[in-house]
């Protein structure tokens, strides 16, 4: 167990809908990262937050947004869902921010299925 928790484990929804994925980092970790794992794109970085502020952005669609709250948990919001958004979404956390060599520890993921 990495200490990173994600809810829900599974999410099934319809096209056009909006969902929220939640992540709680390991105790003491200030950085939260979101990754998407799909069959065609592999594991791709979406976005990073550090202590409440957006730190880095990857291949995140405009329909997707995220935030990190004062208690350091993070939420990833996916809207206007399309079939192609079906994937496994991982959250990871690490102690520090950019220029660090800290290890990122991953949660168990949320499997999103869009029908």
Residues 13 and 57: their CA atoms lie apart, in Å, by 26
Interface segment toward another protein; rule CB under 8 A; list 2-10, 19-27, 62-70, 77-85: 2-10
Cβ atoms of 73 and 25 within 8 Å: the answer is: yes
Question: Considering only residues 41-80, where is the footprint of another protein by CB under 8 A?
Answer: 42-45, 48, 55-56, 58
Alpha-carbon span 67 to 48, nearest angstrom? 9
Check binding of 13 to another protein (CB under 8 A): no
To another protein, the closest distance from the beta carbon of 34 in angstroms equals 10
Contact between 26 and another protein (CB under 8 A)?
A: no
Beta strands 53-57 and 42-50, pairing class: antiparallel
Would you tell me which residues interact with another protein (CB under 8 A)?
A: 2, 4, 6, 31, 33, 35, 42-45, 48, 55-56, 58, 90, 92, 94, 97-101, 103-109
């Amino acid at each position: 167990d990495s200490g990173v928790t994600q809810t829900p484990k599974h999410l099934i929804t319809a096209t056009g809908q909006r969902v929220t994925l939640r992540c709680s980092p390991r105790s003491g970790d200030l950085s939260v990262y979101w990754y998407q794992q799909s069959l065609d794109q592999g594991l791709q970085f979406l976005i990073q937050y550090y202590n409440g502020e957006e730190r880095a952005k990857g291949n995140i669609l405009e329909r997707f947004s995220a935030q990190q709250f004062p208690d350091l948990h993070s939420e990833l919001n996916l809207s206007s869902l399309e079939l192609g958004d079906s994937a496994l979404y991982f959250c990871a956390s690490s102690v520090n921010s950019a220029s660090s060599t800290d290890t990122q520890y991953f949660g168990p993921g949320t499997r999103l299925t869009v029908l």
